[in-house]
Chains A and B, each alone.
Chain A
Amino acid sequence: MKLKKALVSTAIAALSVLLLAGCSSKSSSSDKSSDSKGKVTIRFSWWGDEARNKATRQAIKAFEKKNPNIKVKAEIFPISSMDQKIGTQMAGGTEPDVMQGLYAWLPQYSKNGDGYYDLEKLKGTLDLSQYSKATLDQGRSSNGVLNGLAHGKNTMEIALNWSEFEKLGIKEVPKTWDDYVEAAKKFPKGSHPIINPSPMFMVLTYLEQVTGKSPYTASNKLVYTKAQLKQGLKWYKDMVDKNVFVSRQEYLDAVGSQSLPVASTSKWINGEWAGDYEWSGGLLANETALKAKNQKVVIAPIPQIKGAKASGAISKPTFLFYISKHTKHPKESAKLLQFLFNNPTGIKLMGTSRGVPESKIAAKTLKDEGIVTGIVKDAYDYGQKVKSIPEVPNLENSDVTNVWQQQLESYELGKSDLNATTDALYTQLKSSLANLK
């Protein structure tokens, strides 16, 4: 009987402690973000490498010094699991006050512009005049609410290991696809001028040149016809057959799944893959990897087909910075963004750890300070120079990119022929896009 009592009371005690702890900390957590002295705490989340973490932390410190009544709580999380982190937080309404986010999160979590805070309400604190209209528009939801602040411009660019090209006796940076075909002939077996870690982008670049249009409309409709898709697939396969592009099989065998960046493969380091079609934001790693061997990396212009109707350059914001719609401190959150991107002290501390910012004052400050150098500068300059069609945020919707990847893979690995692939690609793209509405 003693035992029974002991067990029951232990269990009840444990449960009540659990529940009490729950209730009490709940009441305290609701006003945890501001204490009696009027000091407020805002949460700021991002992901990044060591350099970015360091730079951001220093900028936060400077911000806290300037605004002694605001404390910024850093919430850094791993990129590999960000879908899960943000998904749970959005489901629970517990997302941080300020978030570094993907472009694709805009439609994913704010279909009608009510998923995040409306930044235009914070105009007084956040200086929006530093951004061009086109830049601001990228942060607008489908019905025009300014939900996100675009940080920089990310452009798909070709980075060439130029030392490798020179070694093969190629004197000039190829300008047309014919030049690349000629160059490929000089490459030894197993080596190629260009690797496409995501072949989808290369096909889209080609099709944008053919049609002069981006693939999807703002209301998520497929712009290209079946015949055009077929033309794109055929062209891509042709370039693979001519050894210009690395085949999917070779890529998979060398890398496994897609999560390993090209820059850290032995193929890139050893010069067997001498060019990489990537987002400009990631190209620094390509340069760093070859520095040890004193090899030179250059940005090559995207080749134009005959009668191209557009440059084919694909661009998107590197990140959008969002403010939570649940925030209790919108003004303080806006102050933080203003400091990080539009205040010279903040700008210098943040440096190029997230690429070159679109904010006019930030771009100017960094250039004047000579902080933008090497491949980052070349990539930035090319991105500014080239005329690109702005892409819709759903360009990189996981469901849509998955359709491309599956179909291109099954075509290249010989599981389905050109016609079957085109049919499947067309119908699946349509249905995936329809699901987004």
Chain B
Amino acid sequence: MDEVSAAIKHKQRMYRTNAVIRYVIITVIAFIMMYPILWMIGSSFKTNNEIFTEIGFIPKHFDFTPYIHGWQTGTGYTFTTYFINTFKILIPKVFFTVVSSVLTAYGFARFEFPFKKILFSALMATMFLPQVVTMIPMYLLFRKLGMLDTYTPLIAPTIFATQAFFVFMLIQFLRSVPTSLDEAATMDGANSWQILIRVLLPILRPAIISCIIFQFVWTMNDFMGPLIYISSTSKFPVALALQMNMDSTGSVNYAQLMAMSVLAVLPSLIVFFSAQKYFVEGIATTGIK
């Protein structure tokens, strides 16, 4: 009996030490990962000189004027406008991306049809050509359609699942879901649409949440797209507005720039924080078949 309890105790101690080591390691890495954002927050309270001469992130004093002044901007529009603009692009983009990508991925992953291989190669190939060279033809196309300086060129392509990344990702996830599930549902008399909605969507939830997070974050950060298609300052999204005040030949107020950068990251951070819980939930629903 003594031997057994000693063994249990030993095992428990090992578990505890293991847990401590694990926490120490992941905490150290977490600190390295978070250092930049801590530095950004710290810098938003520093003077220009402090930012460039001190690498530590704790400021000497806290003063929120950079946040207030930065929000006002010198452009005639406040960041309120820029945030609203961002969401005008972001919300439809995320919605259309998910719907169109799921449909396309479902078609590729679960059906056989003529030219499937060629179409799949075409899907992949859309990711191979650097965007720089397709930019001009696309721009000329949207000019012909009279859509410059509107959000349409940024949103419309997502209706047609043009970002192969999302389609490819969902295909890979669907392919790791056994087809026996579909077959069982077919036996019960479900058609392909019902299978997608009732059987596969719940399983795909973690993947779809990833899609939402990615598209959200990328759209928040994207300034190349808006740079090309949007001209009026009144229609700028946050990412572009941030770039605007970085004129290296003039005097840049870095504290304000950092303050606004911190605020620009917040929505992504909030979305990610609330979405990551659903990964945990994902286990409960999909782990048990």
Which residues of A come within 8 Å of B, CB atoms? 3, 14, 18-19, 21-29, 43, 45, 47-54, 57, 73-81, 84-85, 88-89, 91-92, 94, 96, 259-261, 264-266, 269-270, 279, 281-282, 284-285, 288-289, 292-293
Interface SS of chain A:
helix
Contact A49 B227 (CB under 8 A): no
Give complex CA distance A391, B275 in Å.
58
Give the contact stretch, choosing among B17-25, B68-76, B263-271, B277-285: B68-76
Contacts of B121-174 to chain A: CB distance below 8 A: 135-136, 139-140, 143-148, 150, 152, 156, 159
How many A-B contacts at CB < 8 Å in the complex? 149
Give complex CA distance A26, B152 in Å.
13
Chain B residues closer than 8 Å to A27, beta-carbon distance: 146
Chain A residues closer than 8 Å to B159, beta-carbon distance: 14, 18
Contact A76 B247 (CB under 8 A): no
B29: CB under 8 A from chain A? no
Chain B residues closer than 8 Å to A47, beta-carbon distance: 244, 247
- Which single residue of chain B is at the shortest CB-CB distance from A84? B227
A-B contact pairs, 28 of them (CB 8 A): A18-B145, A19-B145, A22-B145, A49-B245, A49-B247, A49-B251, A49-B252, A50-B256, A52-B74, A53-B73, A54-B74, A57-B74, A73-B232, A75-B232, A78-B223, A78-B227, A81-B224, A81-B227, A81-B243, A84-B224, A85-B227, A91-B139, A92-B148, A261-B249, A269-B52, A269-B53, A282-B250, A285-B249
B51 to chain A: closest CB distance in Å?
8
A39 to chain B: closest CB distance in Å?
17
Contact A22 B147 (CB under 8 A): yes
Contact A270 B53 (CB under 8 A): yes
When A57-B75, A76-B233, A78-B227 are in contact, do A48 and B240 touch as well, CB less than 8 Å? no
Give complex CA distance A281, B248 in Å.
11
> Given B135, B136, B245, B248, which contacts A261 in the complex, CB threshold below 8 Å?
B248
B27: CB under 8 A from chain A? no
Which residues of B come within 8 Å of A, CB atoms? 47-49, 52-53, 73-76, 135-136, 139-140, 143-148, 150, 152, 156, 159, 191-193, 223-224, 227-228, 231-233, 240, 243-254, 256
Chain A residues closer than 8 Å to B146, beta-carbon distance: 22-29
Given contacts A57-B74, A279-B249, 17 further A-B pairs with CB under 8 A are A18-B145, A18-B156, A18-B159, A22-B146, A29-B146, A29-B148, A47-B247, A52-B74, A52-B250, A53-B244, A78-B244, A79-B248, A84-B227, A89-B231, A270-B53, A282-B250, A288-B251
Contact B53 A74 (CB under 8 A): no
B4 to chain A: closest CB distance in Å?
62
Chain A residues closer than 8 Å to B193, beta-carbon distance: 3
Chain B residues closer than 8 Å to A50, beta-carbon distance: 73-74, 245, 253, 256
Contact A282 B249 (CB under 8 A): yes
Chain A residues closer than 8 Å to B247, beta-carbon distance: 47-49, 52, 78-79
Give complex CA distance A282, B251 in Å.
8
When A88-B228, A94-B148, A266-B52 are in contact, do A53 and B74 touch as well, CB less than 8 Å? yes
Give complex CA distance A303, B24 in Å.
60
B124 to chain A: closest CB distance in Å?
22
Chain B residues closer than 8 Å to A80, beta-carbon distance: 243, 246, 248
Chain A residues closer than 8 Å to B252, beta-carbon distance: 49, 264
- Which single residue of chain A is at the shortest CB-CB distance from B244? A78
Chain B residues closer than 8 Å to A75, beta-carbon distance: 231-233
